[in-house]
Amino acid sequence: MSRSHGRAPARQAAIEADLPTLSEEDGVRYLHFNSEWIQGAMRVARPSELVLAYTQQMMAWLLFVQPGGRDRLGILGLGAGSLLRFTLRHTRSQVDTVERNPAVTAMCRAFFRLPGSERSVIDHADARDWAAEPHRAGSYRALMVDLYDSQAQGPVCDEASFYRDCYRILDEPGVMAVNLFGQHDSFDRNLQRIREAFNGRVLCLPEIDEGNTVALAFKGHALDGSAADLLNRASLVESRTGLPAQRWARSLLALM
């Protein structure tokens, strides 16, 4: 579905400035927005693999909720389609992806093996407007929020109202994973607004070498299990997906 016809001229100009471009090295294809900043990556030989460490961490919500066939998952920011490819492979859920720039979607279809699936819907919309729609209340088991422009330093959606809407559209229990840039002055502001929207129920995974910090925010009883439950779930996630889930679980337990 597409709602791009209603976008304001200023936003349209911003989209036109964020022209997607490609690079490739050592079997990995990268997406950029006319800059050196990497917006996403795909290993050509194994397209469902999560190449970038922060995209792996964006799946850490699997430690706290187990999505089923009747659940919906939301991805805000398509990038190179990494999270979409991985989520479709490793869950049975419906996946709704929000991408404001149709050129990014076209690039993903042409060069990043964007999967065609009846469980996948890509909505060309501004993430703020999408999350604010009243009918989405309580609809999503998990949200993966990765919203960056060509400068790729601070999230383009960082308003308190946006994070409140993300809380509202999560089901219970539900988890939001947000990619933040720990070395940018937007980090503290975003983290504080997420904490306020989610009643303080927020944990951060350790910052990775590239400077990304993934914050996990919880609705309902997703954070209320025991340490043993978390470790057991981590072992299961790691065996099924190959993600370093047990390392994540130990890091998070140190904060709980």
Q: First vs last Cα of the chain: how many Å apart? A: 40
The domain 4-18+52-253 is placed in CATH, from the list 3.30.379.10, 3.40.50.970, 3.40.50.150, 3.40.50.300, at: 3.40.50.150
Q: How many residues does the chain have?
A: 256
Q: 187-197 and 160-169 helices cross at what angle (nearest 10)? A: 40
What is the residue-level pLDDT of the chain in tens, covering all 256 positions?
222 223 333 444 444 456 787 788 888 888 887 666 777 888 999 999 999 999 999 999 999 999 999 999 999 999 999 999 999 999 999 999 999 999 999 999 999 998 889 999 999 999 999 999 999 999 999 999 999 755 555 677 889 999 999 999 999 999 999 999 877 788 999 999 999 999 999 999 998 867 889 999 999 999 998 999 999 999 999 999 999 999 999 999 998 8
Q: What are phi and psi of 120, to 5 degrees?
A: -120, 130
